[in-house]
Structure 1
Amino acid sequence: MISKLSRYGKGIVYIQISGDKFTDFINKARQDQIVFYNTRITNEKIFAEVGINDFYRLRRSARNTGIKIRIRTRYGFPFVAARWLRRKGLIAGIFVFLLSLIVTSQFVLTVSIEGNNNISSQQIAVKAGELGIKKWAYKNSLDLNGLNEKMLESIPELSWVSIEEKGTEVKIRVAEKTLPEKILLGGDLIAGKTGIVQDLMVIHGQPAVKEGDLVKTGQLLIQGTLSNVNEYRFDLGGGENKTKEIPIAEGFVRGRVWYSKDVQIKQEEDILLETGEKASGWGIKKGDRVIMITNEHSPFMTSKQENRTYRLPAWRNWRFPVEIICTNYIETGVLHLQRTEDEARKLAETTALEEIKKTIPTGAKILSEKIIVMPAEKGAQRVRAEVESYEELAVYAKQK
């Protein structure tokens, strides 16, 4: 870590080396005690990082051996300082931006409300504002622990309140007193999926199928018979209990279910992968104009980039015109895969079986697995996996 910071402080040059006399060039560089970092060798090219002083000495070695050196990018404190000294107005803008961040971080900029269903967020926000939890409130003046109790007292419909501060956001999470309106047990049992019934046991109700029948999804299996049951309504202020006559079905229907999945795998393909190497750059954005302070371009031959933008929250209808941009460069490389027919077929089989097993419910018993080789495109292998399982078919029909 200390070595990386030291190299960053002195300045680093990321270079591309090409030519025919790599051996002579490397030997000459070693004689001159030049150190390479993060070296990567590709077809007829070498990519590496060197310090600024080593780079100037390395150019002499390159001229003597006929090697070409191309600068991919430069980063480190000397280069950052040079850019900043040419942009005094930008430095002043950043200073004002950071000062604004420090000042605004002392205030509440957003208030969010979670967990409410029957009570409107507006009603909670109004009560919170009366207690001092509102936009542009000074954070140090808020006693969040005491405000929890006051919020509960001001809104009787709430059973629990939690107020948390996260940066410039105050998050209010609530739980309402009224629980789910009704709990009603009963209904018919229908087929959750297509299968053949093997075992049927009816505890309550009338069977609509018999063992050996092929049933389809949604088909009635056990019809409920009318019975008097209790319908409950819960509320912390008092409960309500009603007797209601509804159809009730109980029992189990178990049977055989079949699954199938087709998968095709190419014997030869290129896959784009991340190499694990990363670099980042910071910059300033004003309108459509972006000024990168560090790493304006990706130091890698091929890469993908992820951009994140940081801005101050809006105040009334005014937004601060300057934003900070962070760009992450992630190096990518192409991996060329070549598989034999047997390897491609086995991968297709494994993939198909894994996809099927994701859909089979926990507790089901797998009875058999079958692989069928199917016609495929040229240079590819295609299979169909078929799995037979023994599982519960019955589910309760949704009540209206």
Structure 2
Amino acid sequence: MASKLFDQVGGVISLSLNGKNPEKLMNLALSRGIYLWDIKKEDDRVYLKVRKSGFDALKVLAEESGIEISVLDRQGLPFYKQTLQRRIGFLGGLFLFIIALYFLSSFIWFLEVSGNQKVNTVQILDSAARHGLYRGAAKWNFQRREVEKAMLRDLPQIAYIQLDVRGVKTEIRVVEKILPGEDIHEPCHIVARKDGIVQEVLVLKGQANVEPGQAVAKGDILISGIVFPSSPSPFLEEEETEVQDMLPYAVRARGQVKARTWYEGYGECKLRVDKKVFTGEQHNQWYLLIPGKQYLIKGGKKADFNMFTRTEKRKAISTPWGPIGFSRVLLKEQTIESIEYEQEQAIKMAREKALKELRGQYDRHAEVLASHTDILSSPGDSMVRLKITTETLEDIGIAKPINSVEVGH
């Protein structure tokens, strides 16, 4: 057992001898202290094993004796060492790959949000990023429970948040709060949400406080939720009737009050406009990013552009010392191009701007009754300015709760 172990440590070579009188070569080897074993003869060849330390001496004797030596196999630690030396680059690369894989698995590369319907996904991801959870974040830079608590403080619409961290992926699971409906069920008035002239009044519940043709201001009561009984009950005594007439009661006012309302939209357009346009020329620069520095590796430092836009895209990982990776900078050349508009074109563009501003003011269900355009600029001006006045018919009522003081009075 010890001899076999020694042979493996020193190295063993399996040989075949071919030639006349190989026995003479074996006797010479034994007389020189070269140890041979597992000697077998098949046909005109002799097979044997020799230690690596005696192989060179045996080879010299074979040449002197005219015997051909063929190496069949090599075994033992010295030969494994040579194999490892030849493949040191592969083994080193494998080792570095394993280290890099372990290192990269310590970062979050994928984020997913589930369970949200009303709260925007971007809003949730922004909140997570503010507290240390983002694509490329190191796992040691944030505490899961702390991030959950901080996000709940940021997002009042969320009732529950759970971070499920699995490998390089994190799923943000949220449960939204079930908010009460916007409709008011307790006693309330219908008040004006904007100025206008009342056109139609439809009372379903409550008491009308305005009539058609009346001008109202924002906040005026249109349909009162405090009702004063107007006719006594025939089943009550006269004294009881007088008491009943004096006691108003509160209801949830319901109805519709349509009024004529007016809106103004302003628009302008220059007759000559200088715009920045792309020429189609561009230049790429590649940088190597290491903590605290960046090195230009391709693309040259300068581009012969007088005016350009700069866009940077990074592929890097965040470490406690700074980003490591690559950065691509894209420079796109721009130039100034002058565009001149005819008077009719400028009026059309200014009108589109004014209409866009108008549509953002009145309700989409409003009925447009009339529209009038006023040109504010003079013929010699370098800019067309105009104003559009629109008259609409719309429901201006909105519910407002009644306080206890009003009911008491």
Give me the TM-score of the superposition, normalised by structure 1. Answer: 0.51
Partners of 1:398 and 1:308 in 2: CA distance: 54
Tell me if structure 2 keeps the 8 A contact 1:109–1:313: no
Partners of 1:170 and 1:366 in 2: CA distance: 51
Q: For residues 167 and 388 of structure 1, do their structure 2 counterparts lie closer, same or farther at Cα, with a shift above 3 Å needed?
A: farther
Correspondence list, 1:1-400, <5 A: 102-107=101-106, 109=108, 135=139, 168-175=168-175, 179-180=178-179, 184-186=184-186, 187-225=188-226, 247-274=251-278, 279-286=283-290, 289-295=293-299, 296-298=301-303, 300-314=305-319, 318-320=320-322, 322-375=324-377, 378-397=381-400
Q: For residues 159 and 303 of structure 1, do their structure 2 counterparts lie closer, same or farther at Cα, with a shift above 3 Å needed?
A: closer
One-letter amino acid matched to 2:349: L
> How far 1:337 moved relative to its partner?
1.1
Q: For residues 278 and 115 of structure 1, do their structure 2 counterparts lie closer, same or farther at Cα, with a shift above 3 Å needed?
A: farther
User: Bigger CA drift: 345-354 or 364-373?
Assistant: 345-354
Partners of 1:306 and 1:373 in 2: CA distance: 42
Q: Secondary structure at the match of 1:397?
A: strand
Q: Secondary structure at the match of 1:248?
A: coil
The count of aligned residue pairs is 247
Q: Secondary structure at the match of 1:210?
A: coil
State the Cα deviation string for residues 60-119 of structure 1 (Å, max 9, x = none): xxxxxxxxxxxxxxxxxxxxxxxxxxxxxxxxxxxx9998764433345489988799xx
> How far 1:218 moved relative to its partner?
2.5
Partners of 2:215 and 2:99 in 1: CA distance: 71
- Tell me, which stretches of 5 or more residues in structure 2 are unaligned? 1-94, 120-137, 141-157, 228-248, 404-409
Q: Secondary structure at the match of 1:344?
A: helix
Q: For residues 351 and 161 of structure 1, do their structure 2 counterparts lie closer, same or farther at Cα, with a shift above 3 Å needed?
A: closer
One-letter amino acid matched to 1:221: L
> How far 1:248 moved relative to its partner?
0.8
> How far 1:246 moved relative to its partner?
6.7
State the Cα deviation string for residues 207-257 of structure 1 (Å, max 9, x = none): 22221122222222222248xxxxxxxxxxxxxxxxxx9741100111211
Tell me if structure 1 keeps the 8 A contact 2:161–2:175: yes
Aligned-residue sequence identity (percent) comes to 21
Partners of 1:108 and 1:285 in 2: CA distance: 18
> How far 1:398 moved relative to its partner?
6.9
Q: Secondary structure at the match of 1:348?
A: helix
Report the counterpart of residue 123 of structure 2 in structure 1.
none
Partners of 2:343 and 2:159 in 1: CA distance: 64
Q: Secondary structure at the match of 1:293?
A: strand
Partners of 1:254 and 1:276 in 2: CA distance: 56
Report the counterpart of residue 59 of structure 2 in structure 1.
none
One-letter amino acid matched to 1:282: W
Q: Secondary structure at the match of 2:317?
A: coil
Q: Secondary structure at the match of 2:265?
A: strand
Q: For residues 328 and 192 of structure 1, do their structure 2 counterparts lie closer, same or farther at Cα, with a shift above 3 Å needed?
A: farther
Q: For residues 179 and 321 of structure 1, do their structure 2 counterparts lie closer, same or farther at Cα, with a shift above 3 Å needed?
A: closer
Quick check: which has more Rg, 1 or 2? Answer: 2
One-letter amino acid matched to 1:261: G
> How far 1:162 moved relative to its partner?
8.1
Q: For residues 199 and 334 of structure 1, do their structure 2 counterparts lie closer, same or farther at Cα, with a shift above 3 Å needed?
A: same
